[in-house]
Chain A
């Protein structure tokens, strides 16, 4: 049961934060907290991929964009077709992301090290270019005026001011579920298989683990995390732009996972929530990209196990 402690703590912190902010009349902060929740989902998926399956991905923003653009197109241009059940655009977005991940995962995951890194980087670039070249995706202007989505039990996924609190909970509920799933996965047989693969692929294969299938499964899973984040954020922001698929975004996710500790989903959640929140509030001013670059270098030089690994190390000595 100890492994669920971080999940419980996250849920508690989420609720506490909302209550405190509402009490202090600082509810507007919920907006950036909600947005950072969706970006945290991406980082969480990437953490599973990098920390547990040991595969790097420099193109994860591409999956976020696929999820986001799919639901954006279906909710605007395709709204007539889905008028009987507009919420279908969400699972459609997730499905699209999963399918793309499956298709490119098969050849890409045969690569290792910097070849894998470059292949995923190329994937991200291609997604970005295709978006910029295609009229239906709004090209450089992106897609705007994406309506909110009516979910179950009267909940509406939208960025409207009056719906701030419920959207905050929707977002963080998704992250909590994501964390729960991740923690479960890690502690299960599958998780042990993944760690074996991470440690040494040949040895794992020798032990009878179907390395290819596991790597692909985690790759698709991490893509789905990103796709969910993208799809939901599009409805919260009422739009999306081509920058979401960019290289700098992928690098940010990488930095967040590295800083949180690649083997630590809750570390990733904490760091990602914090840094993305600060970035979205403009706390880094003109140095926004530089901060993430410095983070990458600093973490890799001084704290390769992540910031929380550093603290653990400090405690041990």
Chain B
């Protein structure tokens, strides 16, 4: 296998990996502030894609994307406020079941609001056939957008958590909710904010991959599983860990194609997840402890 081919596999893996990473980050954000694993995380990507496609018929692309991102964020807020916020101290099992149910409802609602067909945003730059040469490999310019937007999101999040007051308050909330409340931090609003951020990020990711992967009402489930794999692999609650994990999973999947039949590609990610869960559940990089489930 030539160097060109290796690079091609690598690029392919990094592209899919960054999408997984974004979903994983979404899991982490919500997990850190509430202790909930939000099974509906994958649906936010689907919503971002679908909404932006619908809007793109009546407004310029950039506006449609921006509006879709905000609307998806608001849907996340809605889900949190309507279904999750007023539960007092629910058991982990109950939360798991609720978020699974919510992901199904969001999916089925999309099926009936839109349709079963595949939709796609136009390529942000270039077209379906554009191809850039990168050191002997070839990629679509949209791939650069995916990588760029992902990097931007991670960077913005890191800045947010480290250097803004709200971000620091969210981290305080995550490590000890009671203490945070005692400091006058409004934990419930921060929880809502974390859902907004996770959903909006998912929506933006959905918009940037839509030209490549196309958007369909049922794309959320498998993304959620892969995203969770990355979140766990990188350590639950560890945002940068999820990024590294995502890239790793993506590249491993791409590499597996060169040796295994393609039919087993998805098993690779699942097998990785199981190994991590069995042998090192705190992940490769160790996670931050989650907020106790009492935070709503």
Chain A directly contacts chain B within the complex, with at least one CB pair under 8 Å: yes
* Residues of A participating in the B interface, judged by any CB pair closer than 8 Å: 50, 54, 56, 58, 107-108, 110-111, 113-115, 117-119, 121-123, 125-126, 129-130, 132-133, 247-248, 251, 254-255, 258, 286-287, 289-290, 292-301, 304
**Residue B232 CB within 8 A of the other chain:** yes
B217-255: which have CB < 8 Å to A?
221, 225, 228, 232
Task: State the CA gap A2–B97 with chains docked (Å).
Answer: 32
* Residues of B participating in the A interface, judged by any CB pair closer than 8 Å: 37, 83, 87, 90, 92-94, 96-98, 100-105, 107-109, 112, 221, 225, 228, 232, 261, 263-264, 266-267, 270-271, 273-274, 277-278, 281
Would you call B277 and A300 a contact (CB within 8 A)? no
Would you call A293 and B83 a contact (CB within 8 A)? no
Contact for B101 among A58, A107, A118, A294, CB less than 8 A: A294
- Chain A residues touching B, majority SS: helix
Contact for B104 among A125, A129, A296, A300, CB less than 8 A: A296
Would you call B264 and A129 a contact (CB within 8 A)? yes
List residues of chain A with CB within 8 A of the CB of B225: 118, 121-122, 125
B274 to chain A, nearest CB (A): 5
Closest to A130 in B: B267
Contact for A125 among B105, B266, B281, CB less than 8 A: B266
Would you call A297 and B277 a contact (CB within 8 A)? no
Would you call B92 and A114 a contact (CB within 8 A)? yes
A210 to chain B, nearest CB (A): 21
Would you call B105 and A294 a contact (CB within 8 A)? yes
List residues of chain A with CB within 8 A of the CB of B278: 107-108, 110-111, 119
Would you call B108 and A301 a contact (CB within 8 A)? no
Closest to A289 in B: B108
A142 to chain B, nearest CB (A): 16
Closest to B102 in A: A297
List residues of chain A with CB within 8 A of the CB of B273: 118-119, 122
B94 to chain A, nearest CB (A): 5
List residues of chain A with CB within 8 A of the CB of B266: 125, 129
Asked whether A293 and B263 contact (CB < 8 A) given A117-B96, A121-B225, A300-B98, the answer is no
List residues of chain B with CB within 8 A of the CB of A132: 263
Asked whether A113 and B264 contact (CB < 8 A) given A118-B277, A126-B270, A293-B101, the answer is no
Closest to A114 in B: B37
Would you call B96 and A293 a contact (CB within 8 A)? no
List residues of chain B with CB within 8 A of the CB of A286: 112
